[in-house]
Amino acid sequence: MKRALIITSEFPPGPGGIGQHAASLALTLANDYSVDVLCNQDYASKDEIDRFQRSTPENIVIISFVSRNKPFAPFRRVLQARQMTKKRSYDLIIVSGLLPLWIGAVLKHTTKSTIHGFIHGNEVNLKKTIKSWVTKWSYQSLDYLYPVSSFTKSLLSPRLNQETRVIPNGLDQALLLNAEDFLEKEQRIKLEGEPAFLTVGNVTLRKGQQRVIRALPKVLEKYPNAHYHVVGLPTKEEELKTLATDLGVMRSVTFHGRLPTRNELYQMYRSADLFIMLSENQSNGDVEGFGIAILEANAFGLPAIGALGCGIEDAISKENGILVDGNDTVEILEAIKTLLLNKEEYSRGSKVWANRHDWRKLVQKIVR
């Protein structure tokens, strides 16, 4: 069997859209390849990692990067990847995330393998530092670049010589089947709020939870029993709690933190009324490349509201939701009204849209 290597900055059971992207890609490639995954697993416990690995197909081997807490961790991770490619030959090497892009460039100069790089967005607009220079050198070194959205592609230099092909985020067949099974067999749990809104993602300014909270006072005038559920790593949770308290809406917001299992996350998707992701581009170059959680929500029939001006524009169509100015409360409220009034139609469209992003179709775009 052919052999593939994926080097990624995130991977389940740790959180993050890049990780879910890599996992879906690995599962799909496993139909034709024996897949090695070299990844960062610093954000998961040993029990979580062991449980996840037991549930992974036998022809996917997960190798943890040297911990980021170790001295000279980035250099040791580069050496790790180099040693792996010296030990065995790979028919396909894919890198995803900032450090893996750098590693891919090193491998390109030390192996004969073709290197494919996925570009998510927050690797592109780095401030002009050594990181920025190394990243630009990495882009120029790789054989193929795959930005995950038209927005991400627009951030890349037009002077790049490589073939640059947009391959949007996708969902693996297992998740799509799980969603279908969940919708058929699992009853909705009672989430607080009528309607109940949901955002899934690291609690950061880039993910835009603060924009939803700022819109809540106006939303609650129209929907006084509405409730906003926030799922994800609590990076900026305390700041957002302060914001919600200052605006007088803390009683209408629940921070759930990172959910320990995918089934618990699926139940949130199954039970919410609307998904909202109002991602906001940051001045330090941290931007939303696509918003894979939108597709996951769509697979469970959950329509979405997303922000204009970022990669989410590729994640939302007329079928699965509505795009808005993330700072315009009137637009946000109108989108909520429209989706709730036409919930069944948008729910059907969301499932069709999610299935259109089946990785079995998207993987054909990778040059092999």
At a CB cut-off of 8 Å and minimum separation 6, what does 197 contact?
Answer: 212, 226, 227, 228, 229, 272, 273, 274, 275, 276
The reported pLDDT for the residue numbered 53 is 87
Instruction: Kindly state the DSSP code that residue 216 receives in the 8-state scheme.
Output: H
Q: What is the pTM for the complete model shown?
A: 0.91
As a whole number of angstroms, the distance between CA 160 and CA 175 comes to 35
| Paired strand residues for 7 | 38, 95
Question: Residue 171's CB: how many other CB atoms inside 10 A?
Answer: 27
Q: What percentage of the chain exceeds 70 in pLDDT?
A: 100
Q: Which fold has domain 177-356?
A: Rossmann fold (3.40.50)
Other Cβ atoms closer than 10 A to 283: 8
DSSP string, 82-126: HHHHHHS--SEEEEESHHHHHHHHHHHHHSS--EEEEE-STTTS-
Contact predicate 104/38, CB 8 Å: no
Of 116, 102, 37, the residue nearest 73 (C-alpha): 102
> What does DSSP say about strands 60-64 and 163-164: parallel, antiparallel, or unpaired?
unpaired
What are the tens digits of pLDDT across the range 262-317? 999 999 999 999 999 999 998 887 889 999 999 999 999 999 999 999 999 999 99
Mean pLDDT value of segment 92-119: 94
Q: If pLDDT is split at 50, 70 and 90, which confidence band does 124 have? A: confident
In this prediction, residue 163 carries a pLDDT of 81
- Token output for 256: 């759930």
pLDDT at 348 over 80: yes
Question: 323 has which bridge partners?
Answer: 306
Query: Is the bond preceding 195 in cis, omega lying within 30 degrees of 0?
Result: yes
What Rg value do the Cα atoms of the chain yield, rounded? 20
CB 326 within 8 A of CB 310: no
Q: Whole-angstrom distance between the N-terminal and C-terminal Cα of the chain? A: 15
**CATH code reported for the domain at 2-167:** 3.40.50.2000
Looking at residue 171, what DSSP letter applies? B
In the chain the beta strands, taken as DSSP E runs, fall at 2-8, 33-39, 60-64, 92-96, 115-119, 144-147, 163-164, 196-200, 227-231, 253-257, 274-277, 304-307, 321-324
Cα 49–34–1 angle (5° rounding)?
160
Task: Decide if pLDDT at 363 tops 90.
Answer: yes
Top pLDDT among 161 and 54 is at 54
Distance CA 100, CA 84 (A): 14
Give residue limits of the domains in the chain.
2-167, 177-356
